[in-house]
Amino acid sequence: MSVPLTLLGLLEREPSHGYDLKRDYDTLFGRGKPLPFGQVYATLGRLARDGKVVVGEAEPGDGPDRKRYVITDAGATEFETWLGEPVAAEPHLQTVLFTKVVLALMLGRDAERYLDTQRAAHLARMRELTEVKRTGSLVDALLADHGLFHLESDLRWIDLTAARLDALRTEVTTR
Amino acid sequence: MTDTKGTGPVLEAEGVHLSFGSTPALRGADLTVERGEILAVMGPSGSGKSTLLHCLAGILVPDAGEIRFDGRRIDGLGESERSALRRDRFGFVFQFGQLVPELTAEENVALPLLLGGMRRAAAVQRARSWFGRLGLDGLEQRRSGELSGGQAQRVALARGLVAEPEILFTDEPTGALDSLTGEQVMALLVSAAREQGTTVLLVTHDARVAAYADREVVVRDGRVNSYSSPRVGS
Ligand SMILES: Nc1ncnc2c1ncn2[C@@H]1O[C@H](COP(=O)(O)OP(=O)(O)OP(=O)(O)O)[C@@H](O)[C@H]1O
Ligand SMILES: [Mg+2]
């Protein structure tokens, strides 16, 4: 998750205080890992230095957070460009799984057992996410679904690989 | 709640073998189902999932091995006793709702109650109470040909649960539905089963459907692989 661009996106909605940005970020994107205040202000500082946001006048009153941040044209353009780009299609976990399976086969380890364990771990995580979906808000469900579809595609790969283990073993060990 | 309910596992298969002619479908299947749990039965096509479900539900009789319901062997019972068991204690939901096309939706739901000897007015009234709960208000008088796949499947779900069975047997209950409709059916199935304390055996090859269960087992080559993870939460 790109914090600067996400904050720009939240500012594209409306000028906001650092505190509001942190709160919205945590709610929508934090996934249980709140953004430290220090990081919020450091990021906003860099965005201001680079001309992506401007800092409004301090508003009267006490408290640390009386400044409102406003996105600039340059900031809005950068955000739009980023938003329109597809994310790198990176089959990340699958690469690790793949490496482990090939190594297990090569070294004569129990690759099926490994796949079974991985399968159980994936399903356990899918159960947790399904529970979030059943009991949480619609935004929670949206996030949970994203995770569920990714885990599901890994699982399909695991099943297909498990079904072809004998052939794979032959290929990997005779090269 | 019936007074025959014990405290051990509600359903067990032990060393179950079954062949269709020379094709072995089950080759020593073992399974223990705890009371009130929702258990997903997964595995590749042709591995024996449906055959196992049919043995557990007393639809098929194994060639060897034991099936126990509430601690009592049911594999030795005659067809009429097994049929009474299926009618009085079990509920069923299959992939294509399999509603009776000549009956209205509410008559379809009332069917298990009527077969169990309940009077028609009472049965239909109880059947009706399910329509609101499953988002089917206003569809009571439709015939199955006049329902969408998702609606028909919810009617089938109501029919499977209306008699408050101890065990609900389901085989790919969302197999014919798109993912959003399938998820809605699963969410309804799980909450209704939990409310009634119904044990659910859920045969599915779909991991996102299996994720609604408390745990999963995998059937491979006619045997049950239960490396599975322990129950999470619940
Ligand atoms: N009525 C039948 N007559 C002959 N063979 C059968 C019959 N029913 C099942 N089989 C065979 O028994 C084996 C197990 O079938 P089963 O239907 O239990 O598989 P499954 O795991 O439910 O598969 P799927 O995911 O495709 O539904 C298969 O080899 C199948 O061809
Ligand atoms: Mg089947």
Query: Do A99 and A166 share a domain, yes or no?
Result: yes
CB contact under 8 A, A123 and B190: no
Say whether B29 sits in a helix, a strand or coil: strand
Which tokens is A164 given?
């072809």
Query: Which parts of chain B register pLDDT below 50?
Result: 1-3, 228-234
pLDDT value for A91 = 55
Query: Do A55 and A37 share a domain, yes or no?
Result: yes
Query: Do A135 and A147 share a domain, yes or no?
Result: yes
Q: What is the spatial distance between Cα B211 and Cα B190, in angstroms, rounded to a whole number?
A: 11
CB contact under 8 A, A128 and B232: yes
Q: Does A110 touch chain B (CB under 8 A)?
A: no
Query: Do A80 and A27 share a domain, yes or no?
Result: yes
The tens digit of pLDDT for each residue in B43-97 reads 999 999 999 999 999 999 999 999 999 999 999 999 999 999 999 999 999 887 6
CB contact under 8 A, A123 and B227: no
Query: Could you count the other beta carbons within 10 Å of the beta carbon of residue A115?
Result: 20
Query: Do A69 and A101 share a domain, yes or no?
Result: no
Count of domains in chain A?
Answer: 2
pLDDT value for B140 = 95
Domain that holds residue A108: 86-175
Q: State ipTM.
A: 0.82
CA distances from A71 to A16, B62, B135 (A): 10, 71, 45
Of A47, A64, A84, the residue that ends a domain is: A84
Q: Which residues of B touch A113 (CB under 8 A)?
A: 227
* pLDDT over 90 at A99, yes or no: no
Q: What is the spatial distance between Cα A8 and Cα B112, in angstroms, rounded to a whole number?
A: 59
Closest CA to B151 of B139, B133, B163: B139
Question: Nearest chain B Cα to A154, which residue?
Answer: B207
- Atom 18, ligand 1: which residue's CA is nearest? B48
- With b for 16 or more beta-carbon neighbours within 10 A and e for fewer, the A30-66 pattern comes to eeeeebeeeebbebbeebeeeebbeeeeeeeeeeebe
Query: Do A43 and A70 share a domain, yes or no?
Result: yes
Of A84, A102, A132, the residue that ends a domain is: A84
Ligand 1 in contact with B199 (CB < 6 A)? no
Query: Do A113 and A36 share a domain, yes or no?
Result: no
Query: Do A78 and A90 share a domain, yes or no?
Result: no
Instruction: Tell me the backbone φ, ψ of residue A54, rounded to 5 degrees.
Output: -120, 150
CB contact under 8 A, B229 and A124: yes
| Top-confidence residue, A25 or B24 | B24
Q: Where do runs of H (alpha helix) occur along chain A?
A: 3-13, 18-29, 37-49, 73-84, 92-106, 111-135, 138-163, 165-173
Ligand 1 in contact with B200 (CB < 6 A)? no
pLDDT value for A46 = 96
- With b for 16 or more beta-carbon neighbours within 10 A and e for fewer, the B10-45 pattern comes to bbbbbebbbeeeeebbbebbebbbebbbbbbbbbbe
Query: Do A171 and A91 share a domain, yes or no?
Result: yes
pLDDT-derived band at A63, boundaries 50, 70, 90: low
Ligand 1 in contact with B20 (CB < 6 A)? yes
Q: Does A14 touch chain B (CB under 8 A)?
A: no
CA A28–ligand 2 middle distance (angstroms):
41
Ligand 1 in contact with B47 (CB < 6 A)? yes
Q: What is the DSSP letter of B143?
A: B
Q: What is the pTM of this model?
A: 0.81
pLDDT value for B6 = 62
Q: Which residues of B touch A121 (CB under 8 A)?
A: 229
The answer to whether A54 and A70 have CB atoms below 8 angstroms apart is yes
* pLDDT over 50 at A126, yes or no: yes
Of A84, A115, A141, the residue that ends a domain is: A84
The tens digit of pLDDT for each residue in A27-52 reads 877 777 899 999 999 999 999 999 99
Cα three-residue angle B166-B101-B201, rounded to 5 degrees: 25
Torsion angle in degrees (nearest 10) through CA of A121, A124, A128, A129: 70
What's the number of CA atoms in the CB half-sphere (13 Å) around residue A134?
A: 21
Q: Which residues of A touch B229 (CB under 8 A)?
A: 120-121, 123-124
Average pLDDT over residues A122-131: 92
Closest CA to B81 of B93, B69, B71, B92: B69
Query: Do A10 and A79 share a domain, yes or no?
Result: yes
Say whether B104 sits in a helix, a strand or coil: strand
- Atom 25, ligand 1: which residue's CA is nearest? B45
Q: What is the spatial distance between Cα B206 and Cα B49, in angstroms, rounded to a whole number?
A: 13
Query: Do A105 and A69 share a domain, yes or no?
Result: no
Q: What is the CATH number of the domain that holds A55?
A: 1.10.10.10
Atom of ligand 1 nearest to the CA of B53: 18
Kind and range of the H or E element at B112?
A: helix B105-115
CA distances from B100 to A64, B109, B128, B145, B203 (A): 69, 10, 17, 10, 23
Q: Where do runs of H (alpha helix) occur along A30-65?
A: 37-49
Q: What is the spatial distance between Cα B226 and Cα B34, in angstroms, rounded to a whole number?
A: 14
pLDDT value for B234 = 32
pLDDT value for B3 = 46
Query: Do A95 and A169 share a domain, yes or no?
Result: yes
Q: What is the DSSP letter of B113?
A: H
